[in-house]
Structure 1
């Protein structure tokens, strides 16, 4: 897949997530997807995303930075949201927070096969302590 093709495919994947169009997820994510070394499979990956949306009702995936070197795509995703309860082990309890996720995706046959994600939890904790 070309660089432009991967970029377009990824933007369509983010749109799928933002619309919570779970029946379409298999178009973008491989049946044997792994997340941070854990073999979740498509059903487990979908369950993780549904759980994220349940905990963060206003969750919206927005890519600020994309770098593509096939078969890899790296993204910085920026979030501005109001999670319920805890978020990544930090008690947020409905307060608005802003943070970034740095994520690497490996595509195989046009679908995401591997996800490596790091979330800036320190930024979340710092915001909560400041205000």
Structure 2
């Protein structure tokens, strides 16, 4: 795949997430997907995303930075949302928070096969006024 190919694939994937078009997820995510070193497969990946949207009903993935170097792609994603209950173990309880995620992907067979994600949880902690680790 070319840089343009994987960039278009990724933008389609983000659109799929934002629309919560779960039946389409298999077009973008490999059947044997891994997330942060754990094999969770397509079904586990879908379950993880569905749980994210339950915890954060107004969740929207916004691409801030996208770098493609086939077969890899890296993105900085921005979030401005209102989680219900807890987020990353922090009691957000309906307060609006903003944070970012730096995420790296490996594309295999035209689909996302491996994901390494680092979320700025400290940004949420700071917005809640909770400085304890």
1:69 aligns with 2:93: no
Number of residues of Structure 1 aligned to a counterpart in Structure 2: 130
Residue aligning to 2:33: 33
| CA–CA separation in structure 2 for the residues paired with 1:111 and 1:8 | 12
Structure 1 segments of 4 or more deviating over 6 A?
Answer: none
Residue in 2 aligned with 1:2? 2
Equivalent residue, structure 2, for 1:79: 79
Q: Which runs of 5+ in 2 are unaligned?
A: none
- TM-score, normalised to structure 1, is 0.98
Tell me the C-alpha RMSD between the 2 structures.
Answer: 0.8
TM superposition shift of 1:109:
1.2
> Is the partner of 2:58 in helix, strand or coil?
coil
State how 1:69-108 maps to structure 2 within 5 Å: 69-108=69-108
Q: Where does residue 58 of structure 1 map in the other structure?
A: 58
Q: How does the TM-score come out when normalised to structure 2?
A: 0.96
